[in-house]
Structure 1
């Protein structure tokens, strides 16, 4: 085992699994390169595919002995084009195309959609964006069975590409029957994180949480922000969620692309205020689909997300279908590390007020971080059953470059900590005995050449760890 590594990035990496990365050996390579969480995208593949991918992830985690987390991304009400008569279809300026009911278009200029109520919800003057916003249409006439549109932004479209309707409020639920089926599958397979697509209000998140509670699942709910309505109800959505994803692909189509960077910063800031993990996603290293090196703009994009305070960045096609998945992860890790080094060793701000966190836990965690910085500790160790104290450390307002181990005796908690900024998860068989914990951490550190005689280690735990209020800080010098 080479991970957790003290010298790796504190900002976490989420990698999407696809044909380019779904073998056990490749997944193990990606873990060693720096992946903390693997994403299974239910918009693609069958249940059999997802079973096979999850089994491969579990095997790779066992092979590397690193507790990588798993995020199941629900497809939600994503609208897609049906099969085109002429594939691809070149949409020229001022060209007329029409959406028609059913699954079979009658001519090259007729389009069908996976969303059966599309024609019912379109109105004259509405904008329709195709293929991630590369082609734009304007609705000019709507009848019972068709919506006639004019091309206002030319380009090429292909079958199954996405449809976005900026400004159109759809009546469809964020949780479709196929999503509920995937949630049940996730619960049965002990998935760590479930992301909900096209969230529009906090009630969407509550619906998913209620479903999970009905199955007594501990999976954390990640709300994907990709609709204008979500930005309008952002504070409530973040409050209700366990974490948030800035899904810039659809968000950048649903709102003006010029507004997307500001929206990203706002989302991250609200997540920081409410102490919730946040993931920045989509097109972070897009050119690495077919190139071994990113563009300078992409490197700056990753660095700025780190500087803004994101907990994690996500790779999509780069690792799912790209030519260089391992190189993409290594490159992202390197950019993150270099950016983090430019930060002050300790960024101390007033910790946000949060009713869900015991004030003693926050105070002791902040103090322990300050102690570790002051004495130049080799590592900070947080003993936690549920991962809650590690979560407080990652969101406390003090982002330190001192390596922090989240030691837990619960495999589920260890996997959940894989998304927490700066927390390096470590499974320990017993953490409720302080002397044994110290001995096992020192033994682990010596075995993996992380700790040497004279190194100082700061431990944070509760009285016997079982208490919610963590009130135990100890500084140990390695013998």
Structure 2
């Protein structure tokens, strides 16, 4: 039985894999520092590159003895600039920039886009944002093959940078050909979580779920909220998805940046009400790309996400291409642990559609018992992870282990707030599990004689057994 890192933060850390951390040895160090789930960003590289990263993650998990989860992030219909004639291109206020439908740009201030229908869907007066919102344009005129824009906020742009069109209703599908291919690869390779970019409605979520279902894949589908349309249909999207990501990078460009903090709070609140995990992402420790410590504002940002109710926070460039990937994880984990001391335990009586109501009731009762008797630990035996998820949403501070004989469930638990996964032998009895946990706890200084453990058996873990709560004293 691997040693679960119960000394780490309850809020989970998602870290993006990139050139700064793509070997098994580097990834193993990140797991030790506090990473629970690794993100593979399909916007960069091809399937062969994703396979290499997945193998490195699995090797690192074996090395450390901790089943790290894997999140595959589908790029979606991200619109990007084509190759610029001159790079970088400085755009000053008042300058004219023209998008052309096809062909080679005739001068530095003519550009192409990866979305063939861009010119068809632009209208005079529309706003166009480049370079993550740093450069702003307004559309002045549109003809059959050209859209002429005027620069209203200056800056530097480069080839392949993203284009955001706040307020423009695009007809492009949420899943592109590459996304479908990547989703099929994910289904064949046991990926735990698949995130879908630029979701606009629940239909987008169901489209991905249908692809996965056709390939007998039960990976969690994480809907990324980064479009105004997604905020308009938030409740339906949360209902359809298995989890949500607050993707603040594009969201902060697609809506007024001043509205982003309150949008984040609203998204998290809806996820809490509907019992769905939520990840807060983008620029959490942005300055740690190059600096060894974050800004005070960044530390506050992480803390506020936790206080709002986030289940996980995500590092992007900080670990993928940053100078201090391990330190970034260590700092985030430290901020989380300090913040979690001030969380208020609240039993969530909402029932997830994927968890039996009896399971929910019994799990909540077990938490109340554990709190009343000052239990040292809660042990949740679960086959699918549903029972562990109910406990996670309570935000109880009692250390909790999620015990399962299913490797996929153990990796999925890595996204559940406050639950550490522990693998057991297939068909272990409740008595055997209690004995093993007690032995492990005493050997590692986590438990001592007389400590009380509250043991919860989830539906279907032991054949023909119903949910049960047992209070066990360590001998």
> What TM-score bracket applies, with the shorter chain setting the length?
over 0.9
Distance in 1, matches of 2:55 and 2:33, equals 20
Change (3 A) 1:87 1:168: same
Partner residue of 2:374? 376
TM-score normalised over the length of structure 2: 0.97
Change (3 A) 1:373 1:362: same
Following superposition, the deviation at residue 373 of structure 1 comes to: 1.8
Distance in 1, matches of 2:40 and 2:417, equals 21
Task: Give 3-state SS (helix, strand or coil) of 2:133's partner.
Answer: coil
Partner residue of 1:390? 388
TM-score normalised over the length of structure 1: 0.96
Q: State the Cα deviation string for residues 151-194 of structure 1 (Å, max 9, x = none).
A: 01111111111100000011010011110000111111110000
Following superposition, the deviation at residue 432 of structure 1 comes to: 5.0
Query: Paired residue for 2:456, among 446, 451, 460?
Result: 460
Q: State the Cα deviation string for residues 80-120 of structure 1 (Å, max 9, x = none).
A: 11111111111101110100122532210011111111111
Query: Paired residue for 1:358, among 353, 356, 359?
Result: 356
Partner residue of 1:213? 213
Any conservation in 2 of the 1:9–1:333 contact (CA below 8 Å)?
yes
Partner residue of 2:126? 126
Matches within 5 A, 1:400-439: 400-430=396-426, 432-439=428-435
Q: State the Cα deviation string for residues 320-361 of structure 1 (Å, max 9, x = none).
A: 0000000000000000000001224xx225512445432221
Following superposition, the deviation at residue 475 of structure 1 comes to: 1.0
Q: Matched residue pairs, number?
A: 475
Partner residue of 1:309? 309
Partner residue of 1:442? 438
Bigger drift between 445-454 and 16-25 goes to 445-454
Any conservation in 1 of the 2:380–2:458 contact (CA below 8 Å)?
no
Any conservation in 2 of the 1:10–1:422 contact (CA below 8 Å)?
yes
**CA RMSD between the two structures:** 1.6
Any conservation in 2 of the 1:19–1:320 contact (CA below 8 Å)?
yes
Task: Give 3-state SS (helix, strand or coil) of 2:123's partner.
Answer: coil
Partner residue of 1:294? 294
Following superposition, the deviation at residue 304 of structure 1 comes to: 0.2
Change (3 A) 1:292 1:382: same
Q: Is 1:167 aligned with 2:167?
A: yes
Task: Give 3-state SS (helix, strand or coil) of 1:159's partner.
Answer: coil
Following superposition, the deviation at residue 370 of structure 1 comes to: 1.6
Partner residue of 2:238? 238
Distance in 2, matches of 1:190 and 1:47, equals 14
Q: State the Cα deviation string for residues 111-153 of structure 1 (Å, max 9, x = none).
A: 1111111111111111000000000000001111110000011
Partner residue of 2:229? 229
Partner residue of 1:330? 330
Following superposition, the deviation at residue 467 of structure 1 comes to: 7.4
Following superposition, the deviation at residue 471 of structure 1 comes to: 2.9
Any conservation in 1 of the 2:460–2:466 contact (CA below 8 Å)?
no
Runs of 5+ consecutive residues of structure 1 not aligned to the other structure: none
Matches within 5 A, 1:76-95: 76-95=76-95
Q: Is 1:399 aligned with 2:389?
A: no
Runs of 5+ consecutive residues of structure 2 not aligned to the other structure: none
Distance in 1, matches of 2:342 and 2:3, equals 23
Distance in 2, matches of 1:447 and 1:116, equals 62
Partner residue of 2:156? 156
Following superposition, the deviation at residue 466 of structure 1 comes to: 4.5
